[in-house]
Amino acid sequence: MKFYIATDHAGFNIKAKVIDILNKLGCEVVDLGPDNSDRVDYPDFAHKLCDEVLNDTGSFGVLICGTGIGMSLAANKHKGIRAALCHDAYTAQMAREHNDANVLCFGERVVGLGVIESICKAFVESSFEGGRHQNRVEKIEVD
Ligand code: RB5
């Protein structure tokens, strides 16, 4: 699996560890920044990441801010992006199996490293089930 990752200043400190977690799960990870913990605006990085994911078929994204809320709100403005704010392994698993999420969001100020590891593992190791969920996912987008 190929991931793009981006954060704001409130998610920056955990970014290197998340890259390491994903690498150990066998994933390629492209870091879209930021390069330091200076204050930035989370929508700038959410939009940058979503453009990359949409232009790279089959790729996924990870967006981290303080709560994960701002990143998920901004990412879900993009047609074709299904960003899921996950708090544990169960929500991450369901995000893939039922919602076909292609962007994983979480908050550095909300979940600890152990939970983040379980979130990443569940997201990577789960697949979209299709079937009855396909039609529902297609109904998410509006013109
Ligand atoms: C930054 O202070 C914080 O507002 C941001 O990281 C995020 O949590 C917004 O949703």
Centre of ligand 1 to C-alpha 49, Å, is 17
On whether the CB atoms of residues 80 and 61 are closer than 8 A, the answer is no
DSSP class of 63: E
pTM across the whole model? 0.98
For the domain 2-140, what is the CATH code? 3.40.1400.10
Cα distance between residue 61 and residue 120, in whole Å: 11
What residue spans define the domains of the chain? 2-140
Is residue 127 classed exposed, middle or buried when 0-12, 13-18 and 19+ CB atoms within 10 A define those classes? exposed
Q: How many CB atoms lie within 10 A of CB 80?
A: 9
Give the residues surrounding ligand 1 with Cβ less than 6 Å away.
8, 10, 42, 65-67, 69-70
Give per-residue pLDDT as tens, 54-102: 999 999 999 999 999 999 999 999 999 999 999 999 999 999 999 999 9
Q: What is the pLDDT of residue 103?
A: 99
Specify the residue with its C-alpha closest to ligand 1, atom 3.
66
DSSP class of 58: T
Centre of ligand 1 to C-alpha 46, Å, is 12
Q: What is the pLDDT of residue 143?
A: 83
Out of 27, 50, 65, 105, pick the active-site residue.
Answer: 65
- Average pLDDT of every residue of the chain: 98
Q: Which two tokens stand for residue 82?
A: 């299904």
pLDDT band at 26 (very low <50, low <70, confident <90, very high): very high
Is residue 45 classed exposed, middle or buried when 0-12, 13-18 and 19+ CB atoms within 10 A define those classes? buried
